[in-house]
Structure 1
Amino acid sequence: MIALWLAFALLLVPALWLLVLPLRRAGAVARAQSDYEADDRTTRQNVAVYRRRLASLEAARERGEIDAARFDEDRLELERSLLDDASASTRSPLKPAGAGKLLVPLAMVALVVVSVLWYRWEGAEGDLALYRIQQQVMADPEASLPELIGRLETQAARQPDNPNVWRSLFPLYRDSGRVSEADRALTRLLDLEGRTPWLLAELAQLRYFAAGRELTPDVQALVDEALAADPGQPTVLGMLGIEAFESADYETAIDRWRRAIAGMDNPEAAEALRQGIRAAQRRMGQTPDASGAPGVRVRVSLAPELVGRLDADTAVFVVARDMAGELPPLAVVRTTLGELPTTLTLDDGDAMAPGARLSAVEDVRLVVRASASGQAEPHPGDLMGRLEGVAVGEADGEPEPLVIDRVVE
């Protein structure tokens, strides 16, 4: 934090210099103004105009165009006009160049105080403290999870209104089995950030498992509130799928899990739900490859010349896309290099978006990619393969060969 405040001080130096700069130039400005006023030509011009008009009046009197009374009257009017112009051009004396200089240090102090108070109110000092704690714990080989939780709890006591503190504590409490503390962290987050669907879903899931996978009235109320705000909330749909599965309502479980997968951006969680779908299909007397929905059966393998290029646990993504490339991925399945060669079936259960399913098209383009980074986006060094124009139909025939045979440049 010392470095941060030093940086703030360096940023304030130019601002303070701008406050002092006018005072440093005040003497030169005062001298220039005095010279200008001393060389003011307005009065001389007014006198010259007066004399020309007076000469005109005298010439008119000599020609007999006006009498003496009219001459005296017009001359008096000229003199009054000259007097008025002279009075209007009179300026108050200039103040000394150093007048008001005490306001400058007061303004400088006010600038510093206001800046510090504004940062205290609107800045992210608390978040920086959280980041520093996390970095310190990660850099310490002897640090432990309880130590990190303890230090974050200290920050929660210091800054109870910072949602990032509770957002950091919640998963640590949950993964440590401290359900009551995790519940308290989520409840505090709801108070600070409002009753957003994902927070309601996390709290409903936490209380559902804490109650022994029972849909209590409290959990049901949270579920209803979350689905009213977001009917496709994946966490809630995944939990409701578990509830339906354990009640032997396998069709409902499959439907809810497929809807949950469509809204998920976590490949591992999506794969877990796909495994649940396959288990539900087996309970219904079906096999995962004969679910009744149109699909594609594919045999994924690695070209011999690329063997050993990446580790066996490298993630492999098999993606089906429409031929025109206008829709989101129609199906995505994940495996690893160590499991190749393997036969996979892609169907509507592997869809990533509600409006983009394999059953909606007749032919697809298959792309397989071994991702060294584990991310869905391609990166140089990844391995990939492609297969064009694969027909979508009953996924019970011979699998289509899909070979990883090139390197992403």
Structure 2
Amino acid sequence: MNITFIVVALLMMLLSLAFVLPAFLRRPCNQHDTARDENISAARERLDDARAVASDTTPEEVHEYEEEIAYQLLQEAGKEISPALAVQPVFKKDWRSVVFTTVVLLLFTPLLYFFLGTPATLMPPPSIEELTAKLKQRTVTHPQDAEALAWLGRVMGAQGDYAAAADYYARARAVVGNTSELLAANIDALMMKGLSTDDDTLSGLLTVALIKTPEAPSILWLAGLHAERRGLLDEALGYWWRAHDNLADVPEAQNDIAVAITDLEEKLVASSATKAKKSNVVVIVQLSQTQRVDESDTLFIFAKAADDGASVPLAVRSLTTFQLPLTVTLSDDDAMAPAINMSSTDSYDIVARLSQSGNAIIQQGDRQGSVDGVSAGTMVTVLINTISSGGKK
């Protein structure tokens, strides 16, 4: 509690009493008024005595006596105040008013503040350590409190403990599901933690976030940042331009991301790269709920020229260690031969295949999915949901 506030409040109440109480301790009473009151009382007593002995006197004597006393009363009531008496007041103490005023000021003033004021402001705000301890205790007693888990993630992130922050965000997601806010916070904590750019957890979360909220500026920003760290500047540029276009209602945020875009474009120019590789295709690979991944499976992702029976892919990516869903970018860097690449056309058939044999050529029992007629510079989702009976695709 704020001791300074209490001391100042007490001093102000005592100062108020110092101004108010003297008025009750020295109430003036005029001497002339007191003498006149005594004379009037004496005249009334004489009148009462005269009436008491009225049986021993004649009515004329009683009437004359009453007129004389009435005349004296009129004279007494009409007297002017003598200057000598006016400057000599008599004082008397009103202890009842003193006690009442003191009780009201000292007792009811704090009560009035308690009910109508803001007593909570007298309490100092909790320290970050106290807040952290309370939140941790809350998550122990109520492990399903997603709000407390998310708040603890923010607090731990503010303290620089990004590993703990990511863990609390993951626990909150387990309770309420993959909301865009929790996904963005979890991804940000993992990136601040310093995970490797090819970490499966981070890539998996980004893929889930892009599927759930593909146009959320915060998710697009993080996806672009992740791509930039992997050296995929053109992919990062695509994400950030989409985020920029979706921030039209937030000019300040749009300006901030525009600065990042400009810096990234300068990096591309400096490295003798184009500002955006039009031939790139961002592929999100998902697995049907009826399928599962075996440890021995190899994942192949192809880009072939659309409506072309050529067997040589324009780009191919193979992964033996992976977690679905995931996101990859097919480009000229994935060409099997320099002369046969994605820049040679602007429309592709995209295929994702789980190979049991590890062979790129399709075998019976391999599971795959495909999307045909994909334009250059776009993003596509491929769902692995069929089992091959052999043949070529």
TM-score by length of 1: 0.33
Rg larger in 1 or in 2? 2
TM-score by length of 2: 0.34
